[in-house]
């Protein structure tokens, strides 16, 4: 720290160093912004190539907290072989998570398909009612015609399916969509297998990474670096697991309410609410709006009760459920979350929005735990140096005054003599 401070003070003495550093930062920032499309293209290509490995790593990362919890409970019975205890914990945890997801899919999928089928079959009737509503308004004729044309595009089931699969409904288009879907399912299955190997090889992987960073990071900074990495891992793992649990709770509660009120498309709307709840801040409102539009087309009398319930549910979720799930790990200023939402959404789309909160939490942690102590220590060192300089000046001044006083006394004594 002292050497870095001396080096920084040396730069500060040169009046051009600050301007040079600032210009370099501006140039680098400009180059990044001007080549943002190329950078995004590179990362997208990289993600496409490594998608199977990334799926396996994400699944292993999400299952890891449960595996650690189970390992801590059973390791006492495997004193001679801790590795066997970890393999059993990882295997059982992965199987439990897969069974839970499979059970939810088996439970929800038939009702979801039924809801979507009914909605698609009644789509033309809903759109006809919407067209009548538009024609009854006092809007300009050009605006009415534009709205009617847009509604006509959405009115056919064929058009909806075409937009969903991204191809024309031809044998070739259907074949391409089927091949893409089959490839995605195959990649996911391979990712599950990789997740198992990532989990059982976690200890070795952590040792390799620790060895690498120990060689790369200076020894005096390694402990701080290790603490920061541990905190990052805690933030990300807690966020991912708790976010999924929170979305599941919100979706189930929404489904119970809609079933109790005999609202149509309860499963369909609950799945939408659960998925959009994964996106922070704006996601729940988007989900509520989509479901309100669906209810408006089907049975308008349920729109107001649904919106009132959604508002109450989001208030309970924001002030009761999430604080208990996340604890104090993700206490982030609201403005920082909004900034990351906007910037992350513009650059990375949906993944950028989903990761806005943990990234903002990490930046907040770096500021509070690293930047602030370093700036405080730097300011304290400067204040101490200034105090020493002031003390030296005062001492010199007092010495001069004492010398003058002695000289005046000597002159006075000479005159008396």
Alpha-carbon gap, residue 270 to 254, rounded angstroms: 6
Q: What is the pLDDT of residue 414?
A: 66
Q: Please report, for residues 48, 65, 195, 231, the alpha-carbon distance to residue 189 in angstroms, rounded to integers and kept in the order given.
A: 16, 21, 10, 31
Query: Who wins on pLDDT, 72 or 369?
Result: 72
Interval 126-168: pLDDT, tens: 777 777 777 777 777 777 777 777 666 655 545 555 554 444 5
Alpha-carbon gap, residue 344 to 347, rounded angstroms: 5
Contact 75, 87 (CB under 8 A): no
Q: What is the pLDDT of residue 256?
A: 92
Residue with tokens 């920061």: 228
Interval 276-296: pLDDT, tens: 888 766 778 888 888 888 888
Q: What is the pLDDT of residue 331?
A: 64
| Angle of helix 202-216 versus helix 171-200 axis, rounded to 10 | 80
Alpha-carbon gap, residue 264 to 252, rounded angstroms: 16
How high does pLDDT run on average in the chain?
Answer: 77
Residue (of 213, 212, 231) closest to 221 by Cα position: 213
Q: How many CB atoms lie within 10 A of CB 258?
A: 24
Q: What is the pLDDT of residue 328?
A: 55
Confidence of residue 45 (pLDDT cuts 50, 70, 90): confident
Alpha-carbon gap, residue 222 to 209, rounded angstroms: 13
**Within 302-371, where are the H helices?**
303-316, 322-326, 334-348, 350-354, 356-366
Interval 369-401: pLDDT, tens: 777 887 888 888 888 888 888 888 877 777 777
pLDDT > 50? residue 2: no
Query: Who wins on pLDDT, 77 or 245?
Result: 245
Interval 254-281: pLDDT, tens: 999 999 998 888 888 898 898 888 876 6
Interval 331-354: pLDDT, tens: 666 667 677 777 777 767 666 777
Residue (of 130, 137, 135) closest to 154 by Cα position: 130
Residue (of 199, 352, 210) closest to 278 by Cα position: 352
**Within 217-317, where are the H helices?**
219-260, 266-276, 283-298, 303-316
The pTM of this model reads 0.65
Contacts of 234 (CB under 8 A, 6+ apart): 329
Q: What is the pLDDT of residue 171?
A: 61
């Amino acid at each position: 720290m002292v050497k870095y401070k001396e080096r920084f003070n040396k730069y500060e003495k040169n009046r051009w160093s600050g301007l040079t550093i600032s210009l370099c930062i501006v140039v680098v920032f400009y180059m990044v912004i001007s080549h943002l499309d190329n950078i995004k293209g590179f990362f997208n290509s990289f993600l496409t190539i490594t998608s199977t490995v990334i799926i396996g790593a994400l699944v292993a990362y999400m299952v890891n907290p449960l595996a650690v919890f189970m390992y801590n409970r059973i390791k006492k019975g495997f004193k001679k072989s801790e590795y066997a205890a970890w393999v059993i914990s990882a295997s059982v945890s992965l199987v439990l998570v897969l069974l839970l997801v499979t059970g939810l899919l088996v439970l929800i999928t038939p009702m979801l398909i039924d809801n979507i089928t009914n909605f698609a079959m009644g789509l033309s009737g809903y759109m006809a009612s919407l067209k009548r509503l538009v024609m009854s308004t006092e809007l300009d004729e050009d605006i009415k015609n534009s709205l009617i044309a847009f509604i006509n595009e959405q009115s056919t089931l064929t058009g909806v399916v075409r937009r969903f699969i991204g191809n024309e409904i031809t044998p070739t288009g259907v074949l391409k969509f089927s091949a893409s879907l089959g490839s995605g399912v195959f990649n996911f299955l391979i990712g599950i297998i990789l997740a198992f190997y990532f989990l059982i090889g976690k200890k070795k992987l952590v040792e390799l990474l620790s060895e690498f960073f120990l060689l790369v990071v200076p020894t005096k900074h390694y402990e701080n670096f290790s603490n920061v990495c541990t905190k990052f891992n805690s933030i990300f793992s807690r966020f991912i697991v708790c976010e999924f649990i929170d979305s599941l709770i919100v979706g189930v509660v929404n489904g119970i309410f809609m079933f109790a009120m005999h609202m149509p498309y309860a499963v369909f709307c609950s799945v939408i609410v659960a998925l959009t709840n994964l996106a922070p801040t704006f996601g729940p409102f988007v989900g509520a709006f989509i479901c309100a539009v669906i209810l408006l087309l089907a049975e308008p009398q349920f729109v107001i009760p649904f919106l009132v319930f959604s508002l109450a549910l989001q208030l309970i979720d924001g002030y009761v459920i999430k604080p208990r799930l996340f604890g104090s790990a993700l206490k982030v200023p609201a403005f920082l979350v909004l900034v990351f939402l906007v910037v992350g959404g513009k650059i990375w789309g949906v993944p950028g929005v989903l990761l806005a909160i943990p990234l903002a939490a990490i930046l907040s942690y770096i500021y509070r735990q690293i930047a602030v102590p370093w700036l405080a220590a730097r300011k304290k060192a400067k204040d101490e140096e200034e105090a020493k300089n002031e003390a030296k000046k005062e001492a010199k001044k007092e010495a001069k005054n004492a010398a003058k006083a002695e000289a005046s006394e000597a002159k006075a004594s000479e005159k008396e003599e």
